[in-house]
Structure 1
């Protein structure tokens, strides 16, 4: 599964403000809820439920909050770069500034894991992470993500 198959490029944000992890998840839930036509509270509840199992702070300043949302038909993702890094209780203790939200239908076990793997592959590359951090506009972030897709397709 490729990132471009489920990433909502129109929801990419280059400098989103969030004072703490709770505010971040609420803002992500609001944006995704508006984009998908779902109740933001249901999305936030799903994300919070997953966070209770353990932080989705991937390490290296990256977080991949994810959850399953009833009624969702397809895997959905959005990407934001935070205006200021925040404490996310990541596995390496580093503050987070790059966030990939991933939502899946409840019965999409394999698709959810494939999407999670696609995001993980993208952020495993220090070069890509640094380019995402250096991108100052939505278009620049999208260009980095599209270049990654082209590289992976080759």
Structure 2
């Protein structure tokens, strides 16, 4: 398994300075960006993401939220990343607002692949140094470099 997220971000959107005021607005903007690259209708992506959120928040703490869904029309796992200029409440497990969003979409029948990809994103985003680097990155290229060159570790 790759030790970075470049395989998931290959072709996926990176939004380095997103301004939103609510979780739903973040999901809507990210769904639109993902629709542009997957050619799956934005409405279908947003619906699947919101349906998953109803099961429980995908905010994992430390300012990170990992919205994800499986959808028909998605041919392989693909991710999109956004850094929010102002953190938003996502009902995180640590009750802190989130500013780092990694949306993951996978094919409808990709149960194990979807879970492996999600686990990889969670492991990478658990690294405090990486989160700090993402928060201080100046543009999309720098964010892609950070997410493409990180070695996973167990650092919290």
TM-score bucket (shorter structure): over 0.9
In structure 2, relative to structure 1, the CA distance for the partners of 1:9 and 1:136 (3 Å cut) is farther
> 1:109-147, CA deviations, whole angstroms, 9 ceiling, x for partnerless residues?
110011001101111111111111111211111121122
List alignment gaps of at least 5 residues for structure 2. none
Q: Distance in 2 between matches of 1:36 and 1:18?
A: 23
Deviates more, 1:6-15 or 1:37-46: 6-15
2:149 match: secondary structure? helix
RMSD: 1.2
Runs of 4+ in 1 over 6 A off after TM superposition: none
Q: Distance in 2 between matches of 1:24 and 1:12?
A: 13
Shift of 1:9: 5.5
Q: TM-score, normalised by structure 2?
A: 0.91
Equivalent residue pairs, number: 150
More helix by share: 1
Select the residue among 12, 18, 21 that pairs with 1:16: 18
Select the residue among 99, 102, 105 that pairs with 1:100: 102
Q: Distance in 2 between matches of 1:133 and 1:84?
A: 11
Select the residue among 112, 123, 126 that pairs with 1:124: 126
Deviates more, 1:80-89 or 1:9-18: 9-18
> 1:80-109, CA deviations, whole angstroms, 9 ceiling, x for partnerless residues?
101111111111110000000000111101
List alignment gaps of at least 5 residues for structure 1. none
Select the residue among 57, 60, 66 that pairs with 1:58: 60
1:6 match: secondary structure? helix
Q: Distance in 1 between matches of 2:36 and 2:18?
A: 16
